[in-house]
A = this chain, B = another copy of it.
Amino acid sequence: MQTPRRYHHGDLRAALLAGAEDTLREKGPAALSLRELARDLGVSHAAPSRHFKDKQALLDALALVGFDRISRTMTTALEEAGESFADRLAAGARSYVDFAVANAELLDLMYSIKHTPEASEELGAASQRWTEQMMNLIVEGQRSGEVREGPLERVGIGVFSTLHGYATLAASDSLPEEMRGQDLDELVAYILRGCAPEA
């Protein structure tokens, strides 16, 4: 199913990440085996340890890939969006939900509890960058007067929670039947009401 052997000219690390993501997507996290990965890539089972000290280290690196990917996706989505907060929010919501559905297992990994205890500096930083990107949207809205004033805890957390919750539920197929595969307009409208200036 893959080029017989020797196909990685020194890019075993990248090949491992790509292979791990594939099996994660296709067979779930429980099926991910370092030895099988090595076999498929035509290297010895001990080779991966040169690039990832641990199975967990591979998973952490994969989560990092996820954060980078959603950040990038979001950035280009926002570049193509209009100027109003409503437009930008809608674009952001769309891209997050799309990412979540297309990368359900990765999203699960990104927010599984494991890597909280300072698993990797890089991972924490990437997660924070992504969160701040969402918060920026709110700050923009506040500057243009479309979002109520106040510290970010006041409304930013609400918006982020709503988007993350919806994305998560959609990804894990946990939305009630009546609400599946619906477009996001109603959700965005609900969020906008939550954000609306005071009077």
B193 and A116 within 8 A (CB): no
**How far is B166's CA from A179's CA once the two chains are assembled, in angstroms?**
20
Please give, as numbers and ranges, the residues of chain B lying within 8 Å of A175 by CB-CB distance.
157
With A161-B187, A162-B161 already in contact, the answer to whether A153 and B169 are too (CB < 8 A) is no
List chain B residues, Cβ under 8 A from A186: 153-155, 157-158
Q: Which of A164, A176, A195 has the most CB of B within 10 A?
A: A176
The interface stretch among A34-42, A77-85, A104-112 is A104-112
Q: Is A28 an interface residue (CB 8 A)?
A: yes
Contact with B along A165-179 (1 / 0, CB 8 A): 110110111111011
Please indicate the chain B residues that have their CB under 8 angstroms from the CB of A193 in the complex: 193-194, 196
Complex: A113 Cα to B160 Cα, angstroms: 21
**A158 interface neighbour in B28, B104, B116, B162, Cβ under 8 Å:** B162
CB pair A165–B172 under 8 Å, yes or no, is: no
Q: A28-B113, A112-B108 are in contact. Are A179 and B152 (CB under 8 A)?
A: yes
Asked if A163 is an interface residue, CB under 8 A from chain B, the answer is yes
**Cβ-based interface call for A17 (8 A):** no
Contacts of A111 in B (CB 8 A): 168-169, 172, 174
Q: How many residues of A contact B (CB 8 A)?
A: 50
* A144 beta carbon closer than 8 Å to chain B: no
Alpha-carbon gap, A114 to B113, bound state (A): 17
Q: How far is the CB of A27 from chain B (nearest CB, A)?
A: 11
Within 8 Å of chain B (Cβ to Cβ): is A182?
yes
Instruction: Give the residues in chain B near A191, CB-CB below 8 Å.
Output: 158, 194
- A-B CB proximity, top 8 nearest: A165-B165, A158-B190, A161-B165, A161-B166, A164-B165, A194-B194, A190-B194, A162-B162
A→B interface (CB under 8 Å): 28, 30, 56, 104-105, 108, 111-114, 116, 127-128, 131-132, 135, 151-158, 160-166, 168-169, 171-176, 178-179, 182, 186-187, 190-191, 193-196
